[in-house]
Amino acid sequence: MKKIKTTSLILAVSLFFTGCMTDPDTTYREEGSEATTVIIVTEADPFDSLGEDIEVTILDDRIVEESCINGVDYTLTVDLSKWDGKTTREQLAECSRVFWYCYPRMYERFGVYADSPTDVILAVENEGYEIAEAWDNHVHIHDMWLSDNPGDYDCLTHEFAHVIQNGWDGDRLEYDSYIERFADYCRYIYAYDQGYYNDEIWDLQTVATESDRESSVRFLVWMDYAYSMGIKEEDLMLRFFRVCHDGSYEADDWDRAWEEIFKGTRAEGMTVDQVWQEYIESDFAYLDSHAERGQLSDLLSSYGIRDKIRGANEADYFE
């Protein structure tokens, strides 16, 4: 059962003095001997409906949310110390739902290996720097962003993925852009509510615009779909994550890195160039990923990407 604790309730208080009619359930005292009637009406808060198993504590400058999922204790602190109200309270609650939807899933698959933080801070700040960014266990989103771009909640999925990465070293990657490509991979696969918002406003670029491994997010999605085979023990993207996190290979030694990543999967024995060639010869590389809200894109109509990839890694953990 979800518990709500608050030090900042929204209250409508009406004071009625002697001579006013009272409801049988109100408290009444005689003013001459202190006659006052006090009626307190509480207004529902959007954070009341986060989920039955999430304990929420609402303070003046922050909202603390806690839950234990599959034996892991998570805490999300929504820091409002620099929030000016441009992001509505309903949007703030939706940002929290994004965290509870995507972060435990990414943690179960990748974060356990990286010892990623389970205590995360989301700061909504009316500051003049990045739209959104992440460092250590801290995620920032500008207070104006969702006001100007309603529905772009999965920019946070991207930033939460950076927290899951927990310190990749770009100098030890084939391309340092893999840091951002992986976060975008997570934005697509772990998009809030199966891409309800994401797929309308953010496209998984085709090979026409992301034409090499250095730039392509869709290539990562395709490799996971095509070669992990929906088998947890052959999780190609977890292997990719481990190699990137450990920094075991110099940037010019990634032929051996790919050998390690492909080992034990259907891609074993292939070079990464051969895998890329197979990708660009597939319609997967070209189908449109855009969808109207609540609809399936051409890509997802042809390939059950999220169901297959996430289903293989969440069957034991999530509904």
Residue given tokens 């059950």 in the structure block = 304
- The whole-number pLDDT of residue 8 equals 38
Q: How confident is the model at residue 224 (pLDDT cuts 50, 70, 90)?
A: very high
**85: CB partners within 8 A, 6+ apart:** 143
Q: What is the DSSP letter of 44?
A: P
Q: Give the range among 41-50, 56-65, 213-222 with minimum mean pLDDT.
A: 41-50
Average pLDDT over residues 238-259: 97
Q: How confident is the model at residue 140 (pLDDT cuts 50, 70, 90)?
A: very high
**Separation of alpha carbons 203 and 185, rounded Å:** 11
Are 244 and 168 spatial neighbours (Cβ–Cβ below 8 Å)? yes
What tokens does 260 get? 């390690």
- The whole-number pLDDT of residue 314 equals 66
Where is 106: in which H helix or E strand?
A: helix 89-106
Are 285 and 218 spatial neighbours (Cβ–Cβ below 8 Å)? yes
Q: Which of 6-20, 34-48, 276-290 has the highest mean pLDDT?
A: 276-290
Q: How confident is the model at residue 1 (pLDDT cuts 50, 70, 90)?
A: very low
**Separation of alpha carbons 94 and 91, rounded Å:** 5
Does residue 3 have a pLDDT over 80? Answer: no
**pLDDT tens figures, 261-314:** 999 888 999 999 999 999 999 999 999 999 999 899 999 999 999 998 887 666
Does residue 144 have a pLDDT over 80? Answer: yes
Q: How confident is the model at residue 231 (pLDDT cuts 50, 70, 90)?
A: low
Q: How confident is the model at residue 32 (pLDDT cuts 50, 70, 90)?
A: very low
In this prediction the pTM is: 0.85
- The whole-number pLDDT of residue 38 equals 40
Average pLDDT over residues 100-116: 97
